[in-house]
Amino acid sequence: MTGKEIKITYKEYSKPEELEKEDLDLAKAAIDAMSGSYAPYSSFNVGAAVRLSDGTVVKGANQENAAFPSGLCAERTAMFSAAALNPDKDIVGIALAAGTGGKLTAKPATPCGACRQVMAQYQTKSGKPVSVIMVGAECIWKFDRVDDILPLIFDSI
């Protein structure tokens, strides 16, 4: 037996202004996207913003449904919309923000496993890292690649 270790690195910013401009713009877009959330069941409003290789930003927000599994997270709403509308462009980054009643969560909201898997696939598709920014009121986290939030990514059968 050999003990193995997987190292994950990320950056924590205590103020949004510490982010590079492109990342700050994406973080702001994710906060802005929260206004598109339809969350009558959870009241948890999630916004996401995807950056494409040409700089285009596509927003998404969680959409809930009385038939619960029919709803969709903000990140997948944004990624699927971005990819469907721009099939020839790569997704290079995604930011997300969440809260209730217009108030951001204190700690950054983190993406669910299904959204991580979808991020992973767009990263595999482009062959380039997709950065993930998680926005909270107290701090912001940036992961440079999906591998850092989804180790041992499932690739293909």
Catalytic residues: 75
Torsions phi, psi of 4, nearest 5?
A: -120, 160
Is residue 75 near ligand THU by the rule CB under 6 A?
yes
Is residue 49 near ligand THU by the rule CB under 6 A?
no
Shortest distance in whole angstroms from residue 88 CB to ligand THU: 27
- What torsion do the CA atoms of 51, 16, 60, 126 make, to the nearest 10 degrees? 30
Helix crossing, 113-126 with 74-85: angle to 10°? 30
Write the single-letter amino acid at 16.
P
Structure tokens at 83: 């990819």
Binding residues for ligand THU, rule CB under 6 A, total: 13
Q: Which of 44, 80, 139, 144 is close enough to bind ligand THU by CB under 6 A?
A: 44
Is residue 26 near ligand THU by the rule CB under 6 A?
no
Is residue 13 near ligand THU by the rule CB under 6 A?
no
Is residue 42 near ligand THU by the rule CB under 6 A?
yes
Q: Which is nearer to ligand THU, 53 or 61 (CB)?
A: 61
Is residue 46 near ligand THU by the rule CB under 6 A?
yes
Is residue 91 near ligand THU by the rule CB under 6 A?
no
Which span (9-17, 71-79, 120-128, 143-151) binds ligand THU, by CB under 6 A? 71-79
* Beta pairing partners, 97: 47, 135
Q: Which of 58, 115, 118, 132 is close enough to bind ligand THU by CB under 6 A?
A: 115
DSSP 8-state class, residue 108: P
Structure tokens at 157: 């059968």
The C-alpha atoms of residue 149 and residue 109 are separated, in whole angstroms, by 13
Q: How many CB atoms lie within 10 A of CB 25?
A: 16
Structure tokens at 77: 């709403």
Q: Which residues bind ligand THU (CB under 6 A)?
A: 39, 42, 44, 46, 62, 64, 71, 73-75, 111-112, 115
